[in-house]
Amino acid sequence: MAKNNKNNNGVIELWGHEFKKAGEGLDRGQVVSFIDELMKKHEALLKRTEHLASLTQLAEKTIVEADAVAKQVRGEAEEKARAEAKAILAEAEEKARKLAQEKKAEALARVEQEVKAVKAKAQQEAAKMLEEKTREIQPELRKSVKRLYGELLSQLENLKQQVVALEEELDQKLARPPEKPSAVVAETSQADSEDGQADSEFLELFQSAKETDEQPEWELEILPPIDLNQILDIINYLDDQPEVEQTELIPHMERPKITVFLNKPLAMINILRGLPQVANVTEDTAGTNGSDVKPRKAKIELSRRPASKPSN
């Protein structure tokens, strides 16, 4: 409540302001002036309050908008970060996949090289072992072949001697004068009992000689050095040909011969040149007037290296 201080000078103090007394009341002009000033201050204060309120609203709006912007920016930043992280992860996975593929390819190539090396080494070792085994058994094989060849020649020589003896005995029997029937029968019976098996062998040889009395189409002479295995391979190959009817081996020690009987024409020289057992073959045309002369002759030089039997 305002204090009213009265003094003797005709001045009244209200609210800390002095008013002159006008008769029994206050000076109107001062009161109006004071009130106007108060109104102005009040209006100024109201404007300032409104300005502050506007500023407060603006600040609040700015804060709200800033918060929204911050949320938006934060969301965009998070989305961008997630996208970048996803891209980085995808790139890393792609690089890892490519690296894994490269490493796998390198490992496979390395394994393949190692397999090839092991295979090549195994093949070399197998070839070396085969060569060593071949060298080990070659002398024994050659010895066996020579032994068999010698036995065959010996048997053929014995057979030849038996044939000669039988021929001489037959000539002697044919040259004897006729005797009495009883004596002839007795002598024949005795001869049959003593030499029955020899006569049978002679008759078989005689019949075989009659059957093969025809001249062969080819006579193949084998030049030294002689390899019985290769000769037998050549004979077996010729026997398998449909044009060949029969082959025979004439076992001369130095230069054995193969006689060939045909049932159809055969390009013998070309066939022999294609065999691995044959190093060279030449036809001997000396003293012949054409290819129809029988037998046609050829000389064969065997291969120095052992060869397997040819396949048809």
Residue 309 lies in a domain: yes
Q: Is residue 23 part of a domain?
A: yes
Residue 300 has pLDDT above 90, yes or no: yes
Q: Assign residue 37 a region: left if phi > 0, alpha if psi is -120 to 50, beta otherwise?
A: alpha
Please write the tens of the pLDDT for every residue from 238-250. Answer: 999 999 999 999 8
What is the domain range of residue 19? 4-69
Q: Which two tokens stand for residue 240?
A: 């398998």
| Mean pLDDT calculated for residue range 122-145 | 78
Q: What is the average pLDDT score of the chain?
A: 77
Q: Which residues pair with 281 in a beta bridge?
A: 300
Structure tokens at 134: 């071949």
Is residue 21 one of the residues assigned to a domain? yes
Tell me if 275 sits within 8 A of 234, measured CB to CB: yes
Four-point Cα dihedral 143, 146, 150, 156, nearest 10: 140
Mean pLDDT of 225-238: 91
Residue 207, class by beta-carbon neighbours within 10 Å (0-12 exposed, 13-18 middle, 19+ buried)?
exposed
Query: In the β-sheet with 17-22, what is the strand arrangement from edge to edge?
Result: 4-6, 11-14, 17-22, 25-26
Q: Which of 15, 48, 69 finishes a domain?
A: 69
pTM of the model: 0.35
259-287 pLDDT, tens digit each = 999 999 999 999 999 999 999 999 988 76
Output the CA torsion sign for 260, 157, 153, 199: positive
Position 119 pLDDT exceeds 80: yes
Domain count, the chain: 2
In a domain, 14, yes or no: yes
Let me know if residue 237 belongs to a domain.
yes
**Which of the listed residues 69, 89, 116 is the one where a domain comes to its end?**
69
Average pLDDT over residues 59-70: 82
Domain-located, residue 174:
no
Residue 66: the pLDDT is 81
Q: What are phi and psi of 176, to 5 degrees?
A: -70, 150
Residue 191 pLDDT level (bands cut at 50, 70, 90): very low
257 falls within a domain: yes
Average pLDDT over residues 23-32: 70
* 247 part of a folded domain: yes
User: Is 253 a residue whose pLDDT tops 90?
Assistant: no
Kindly give the pairing relationship between strand 296-302 and strand 257-262: unpaired
Both ends of the chain: CA-CA distance in Å?
146
Measured over the CA atoms of residue 117, residue 118, residue 123 and residue 129, the dihedral's sign is: positive
Q: Which residue has the higher pLDDT, 3 or 240?
A: 240
> Rounded mean pLDDT of 54-82?
83
The edge-to-edge listing of strands for the beta sheet with 296-302 is 244-250, 257-262, 218-223, 296-302, 278-284
For the cut 60, the answer to whether the pLDDT of residue 311 exceeds it is no
Identify the domain boundary among 43, 69, 95.
Answer: 69
